[in-house]
Amino acid sequence: MTVMLPHTLNRSRDLVEPAMRAAVARLDPASRRVAEYHLGWVDADGRPAAAGGKAVRPALALLSARAAGGPAEVGVPGAVAVELVHNFSLLHDDLMDGDVQRRHRATVWAVWGASTAILVGDAMLALAYQVLADSPGGHAVAASSLLGTATQGLIAGQVEDLAFEQRSSVSVEECVEMAAGKTGALLGCSAAIGAVLAGAAQPAVGALRRYGEELGLAFQLVDDLLGIWGDQAATGKPVGSDLRARKKSLPVAYALESGSPAATELAGWLATPGPDSDDEVRRAAELVEIAGGRGWAKAEAVRRLDAASSALGDADLDPVARDELVALGRFVVSRES
């Protein structure tokens, strides 16, 4: 099922993309071209293309500026910075995870090699802080500090994710903590950085950040569901790819903790190395569902989304922007799984 992109995302893209292009143009020519490919602006030969992501993080950054009573424009450097940090992490994660495809295209390391993926990721990370340093209005330091904390959370999440691969079992609690770092930290920063740049008071910034962090967990739950049951045409990844990779995603961790016969069978299958037939992968997905992992993850995504909306409830925020934040949250979780 195709979900219409909310108006918010399109408006945000119109405002952010020129600033994003100007920022990327500051990179050395070789890194710039690779970054432009990664961002979906050109193909591997440098010809114009249009294959970008949904840019949820920039949209959150602009909404957060408006939620704090500022114009959306004030949030633009924050939007560019979080999108750069997000893409830095994708570049490095794709390499570490050995993923050869993203958004239906070959990943950077698959086209240009590991060193290029490392260096262009590094360049995008440093660029994020340059963009914030250049932001007007006197709140660059606070925004930079917020982004730094989020980046450390993001990295810590990936550290845990890789450590989990070496372990036979991971608790739901550990999985949630990992997702809070890997996905929640930067979404929390995205939802607050515009408010910081607009000079918002701490309670409003804190509320927006909690909203983003909860939204991040909802987002990750949906992503994990799509990693098992998602349609390849929509996700760009092979069906059941997370199961084939023996990934301890949230639905899997929940299923394994259930202690049911399905959990025992699932644990046995996960301990057996692939390659797997399509039937085996289908059976593993079925076991996660029988053990309650699918139902729990769907319900938990809704609970996290509610918690995100609730976080905004008491804060002193612009009501129109608040409503758009709530709507954007619903959109994020509405991706079919």
Question: Under the rule (CB under 8 A), what is the footprint of a second copy?
Answer: 26-28, 30-31, 88, 92, 95-96, 114-116, 118-119, 121-123, 125-127, 129-130, 132-134, 140-142, 144-145, 147-149, 151-152, 155-156, 158-159, 162-163
Q: How far is the CB of 224 from a second copy (least distance, A)?
A: 21
**202-241 burial string, b = 16+ CB within 10 Å, else e?**
eebbbbbbbbbbbbbbbbbbbbbbbbbbbeeeebebebbb
Q: How far is the CB of 137 from a second copy (least distance, A)?
A: 11
Give whichever of 122 and 265 is closer to a second copy, judged by the CB atom.
122
Q: Is residue 35 helix, strand or coil? A: helix
Q: How far is the CB of 147 from a second copy (least distance, A)?
A: 8
Report the C-alpha gap between 116 and 199 in whole angstroms.
38
Q: How far is the CB of 144 from a second copy (least distance, A)?
A: 4
Peptide bond preceding 275 in cis form (omega within 30 of 0): yes
Give whichever of 3 and 141 is closer to a second copy, judged by the CB atom.
141
Burial of 29 from C-beta contacts in 10 A (0-12 / 13-18 / 19+): exposed
Q: How far is the CB of 270 from a second copy (least distance, A)?
A: 21
Give whichever of 149 and 264 is closer to a second copy, judged by the CB atom.
149
CA 176 to chain centre: 14
Q: Which two tokens stand for residue 299?
A: 């319900």
Q: How far is the CB of 160 from a second copy (least distance, A)?
A: 8
Q: How far is the CB of 74 from a second copy (least distance, A)?
A: 16
209 Cβ contact list (under 8 Å, min separation 6): 188, 189, 191, 192
Angle at CA of residue 248, ends 182 and 84, nearest 5°: 20
Q: How far is the CB of 31 from a second copy (least distance, A)?
A: 6
Q: How far is the CB of 15 from a second copy (least distance, A)?
A: 23
- Kindly tell me the sign of the dihedral angle through the C-alpha atoms of 69, 74, 80, 82: negative
Give whichever of 27 and 284 is closer to a second copy, judged by the CB atom.
27
Give whichever of 50 and 167 is closer to a second copy, judged by the CB atom.
167
Give whichever of 24 and 281 is closer to a second copy, judged by the CB atom.
24
- H or E, element range at 102: strand 101-102
Give whichever of 178 and 228 is closer to a second copy, judged by the CB atom.
178
* Strand partners for 102: 105
Report the C-alpha gap between 296 and 47 in whole angstroms.
44
**87-122 burial string, b = 16+ CB within 10 Å, else e?**
bbbbbbbbbeeebeebeebebbbbebeeebbebbbe
Q: Which two tokens stand for residue 95?
A: 């390499």
Report the C-alpha gap between 201 and 332 in whole angstroms.
27
Q: Which residue has the tokens 């890997």?
A: 182
